[in-house]
Amino acid sequence: MNMGGEKVKIKKYILPVLAVILIISIFIFSLLSEKTKDVTVSDFAMGSPVNVTVYGEKNGDEHCNLAIKRIKFIDNSYLSHTVSSSAVYTLNEKKTLISDMWFADYLENCVELSKESDSFTLFSGEFKDLWKIENGGYVPTDDEIAKVLDSHKNASLSIDSNSISLNSGKLDLGALGKGTACDEAIKVLQKRNVSNALVTVGGTVGVIGSPDGVGSYSIGIRNPFGSQIEYFAILNVTDCFVSTSGDYEKYFECDGVRYSHIFDAKTARPVQSDITAVTVVADNGTLSDFLSTVIFIEGVEKGFEIADEFDAEILIVKKDKSVLVSEELNDKLTIRDNSFSVSVIE
Amino acid sequence: MKRLITKKDIIVVLAVLVVGVAGIILLDSAENGKTATIKLDGEVVETVLLTDENYEKNVNGVVICVENGEIIAKESTCADKVCVRSGKISKSGEGIICAPNRVSVEIDGENDDLPDALTG
């Protein structure tokens, strides 16, 4: 009898005990999986929002924070035109700077790229100041424009192993800086053996690996006619950098004319064209950022030639909502808004 | 006589029921009580319920309001007013960003429909 009672007792407890074991194992499982969850860290740098996401790694926070630290370092030490300790600021103020290996190499690369187009300049600082692009906007007189054009003619850099000098003009690396920041952040992550990550600096995106280990990243292309968060198409990409230049980013309007922040170096005036945005996919961020600006300035025909030369894939949105896309990029493109009409350029 | 159902059994069943019902209520309220997270310099300033119709706050120069279950940057001291032009947002994953004032507002929750990033 006693023995039977024990058995009933044991039977009675089996269910609750099993339930408790189940709950504990779920807890342990979720704790374990939390260690390799996806982590995003957001901040602001280079006058733009910055996001770094690392997928499925232990210490995701640490990876993200170090990548953001690198972006801020690149901004504050080199590229910022507002932080008084930066190399660009110092060059513009004091005209000379003790050479730094990273910066000298980087500037040489920028100068090399800028030779691609007479309409592109690394010295748009004076144009931006004159047109008060960051201060509400102002349409200058022809005389004022002639004056900055004249000053811009002599703008150049002297780079050697000891020093870097600016011979007239005002350096502004805004057309490439965000791409460079993306490059540097991705380099930090790769050095730390992170295989799946996404970095955004403003409108420039850099991706490595994939968000789930197998698929690709979906990058929305902003609708130039909509708000900051609307997108009209999706690009499915991996291991690349994507940049977009548009006349809707920074602009002012005067007498019904839109003046954007993208200047033609030949005229010292904001580019006026039938293009509203250019998206470029390339294998480094400095290049994708540079190409998006140059192609915006040069227009459709020359733009596709330049893209070919650099092995980049491009998408151009014109003001009439027609979209021109290179063949390779079309395979990665999904249009979400059918009011845009797409043509593939071979 | 041995009872089929003891007091302990009832307690266990009740406990499971209570936990289950509480869980469902919690999940449900999370569904209805959509929230937005406001950040300054990437640090969370506040989490706001989109049902909080009286909400209005100036975060580093950006006036953020809740209107009809949506959140909006009503005014801003910045020059470009990109944040104000973003309009009202209410879907998970949507956001408003004021880069000059380093303020961001994002609707919480996962949305598989949204892309991983935006270019432009």
Q: What is the ipTM of this complex?
A: 0.82
Which of residues A158 and A214 earns the better pLDDT score? A158
* pLDDT recorded at residue A95: 96
Query: What secondary structure letter does DSSP report for B92?
Result: T
Q: What is the pLDDT along chain B (120 residues), one digit of tens a residue?
A: 566 778 888 888 888 878 877 776 666 555 557 889 999 988 899 999 988 888 999 999 999 999 888 999 999 999 888 899 888 888 887 889 999 999 999 888 776 578 999 999
Helix residue ranges per DSSP H, chain B: 7-32, 82-85
* pLDDT recorded at residue A5: 60
- Secondary-structure breakdown of chain A: helix, strand, coil percentages, each rounded to the nearest 5: 40, 25, 35
- For an interface test with B, give the residue of A228, A244, A248, A252 to mutate (most B CBs within 10 A): A228
Length of chain B: 120
Interchain CB distance below 8 Å, A42 and B6: no
Three-state secondary-structure class, residue A57: coil
Are B71 and B62 contacting, i.e. CB atoms less than 8 angstroms apart?
no
Mean predicted lDDT score pLDDT of chain A? 92
**pLDDT value at A89 more than 90:** yes
**pLDDT value at A34 more than 80:** no
**pLDDT value at A1 more than 60:** no
Backbone torsions φ then ψ of A132, nearest 5 degrees: 45, 45
Instruction: List, in order, residues 6 or more apart from B115 with CB less than 8 Å away.
Output: A217, A218, A219, A220, A231, A234
Within a 13 Å sphere around the CA of B45, how many CA atoms are in the beta-carbon half? 17
A7 pLDDT band, cuts 50/70/90, is: low
pLDDT tens readout for residues A163-212: 999 998 999 999 999 999 999 999 999 999 999 999 999 999 999 999 98
> What's the token pair of residue A296?
């915006």
| The residue to which tokens 């029921």 are assigned | B17
Which amino acid is it at A228?
Answer: Q
The B-side interface with A (CB below 8 A) comprises: 2, 6, 8-9, 12, 16, 39, 41-42, 79-80, 82-83, 85-87, 89, 94-97, 99-100, 102, 104, 114-120
- Min distance A167 CA to chain B CA atoms (Å): 31
* pLDDT recorded at residue A277: 97
Q: A133-142, A239-248, A321-330 — which is least confidently predicted?
A: A133-142
> What's the token pair of residue A61?
């926070």
Bridge partners (DSSP) of residue B58 are: B63
pLDDT tens readout for residues A116-126: 999 999 999 99
Q: Which of B77, B70, B67, B58 minimizes the C-alpha distance to B95?
A: B70
Interchain CB distance below 8 Å, A42 and B118: no
Are B63 and B70 contacting, i.e. CB atoms less than 8 angstroms apart?
no
Interchain CB distance below 8 Å, B117 and A51: yes
- Min distance B111 CA to chain A CA atoms (Å): 13
